[in-house]
Amino acid sequence: MRYRIRLAYKGTNYHGWQKQHNALGVQSVLDEKLSLLLHQSIETLGCGRTDTGVHAQMYYAHFDSENTIDCNKLIFKLNQTLPSDIAIQEIVPTHNNFNARFDAEWREYEYWIITEPNPFLHDFAWYQYGYLDIGSMNNAAKILLGKNDFECFSKVHTQVNNFICDVMLARWQHKNDKLVFTIRANRFLRNMVRAIVGTLLQVGRGKLNENDVRKILDSKNRCEAGQSVPAKGLHLTDVFYSNN
């Protein structure tokens, strides 16, 4: 039987979600604990990769089990045995064709910036000194909307068939003591959000304008875009399934 699992994790101590031979991923830790508790070999499949150090406030995966599971009991036991930076929020049975990765219709990320040092947000946000023109950054962000080739914002030498992404939302907002960039798309390329944020910050500082961003997008050249911002400010915040 197939089960869908919803979890959250602080990415500081992990090399992203994916299981790796030479580094610790969240998937490795979760699979180990699930296998131990269910007395069988469990391999989860997640809704996507996250880069090293990136956080997930909402993450989905699925796994198959030979036995019927008491989901509430398993949630409790997992949260007792997992490290405190991984939290299981929901486990539910789902149809056998459900795929946490390929059935996701869109994903949403936030990037957090603080303009005053804050020790309570140190692991979750990037501190930036000085004035940022939010209006200009939002005008430039509108250029990203719709279906575009985002090769200029992608990590080079990645194994993808194409660089087309459909961006449905891209905006900056003040949220309490944070400046938050929210972006939603049907798919994301490796390093894409962090490169976009780095480029838009250049707009906010007056070093680039909207036309520059359009030219960067059209160039399909990673060297034309801004530097990637640190991973610690990036959060996967939502994943949408219309039929799960």
Instruction: Give residue 20's pLDDT band: very low, low, confident or very high (50, 70, 90).
Output: confident
Catalytically annotated residue among 51, 85, 149, 212 = 51
Backbone torsions φ then ψ of 109, nearest 5 degrees: -120, 155
51 is catalytic: yes
* Those residues with Cβ within 8 angstroms of residue 215's Cβ, 6 or more apart along the chain or in another chain: 224
* Those residues with Cβ within 8 angstroms of residue 61's Cβ, 6 or more apart along the chain or in another chain: 4, 5, 7, 27, 30, 44, 45, 46, 47, 100
Q: Which whole number is the average pLDDT over 12-26?
A: 92
Global pTM reads 0.94
Alpha-carbon torsion (136, 105, 74, 51), positive or negative: negative
Question: What structural domains does the chain harbor?
Answer: 2-94 (3.30.70.580), 106-240 (3.30.70.660)
Angle of helix 192-204 versus helix 134-141 axis, rounded to 10: 140
Confidence at residue 244, expressed as pLDDT on a 0 to 100 scale = 62
Tens of pLDDT along 199-212? Answer: 999 999 999 999 99
Tens of pLDDT along 148-198? Answer: 999 999 987 777 889 999 999 999 999 988 999 999 999 999 999 999 999
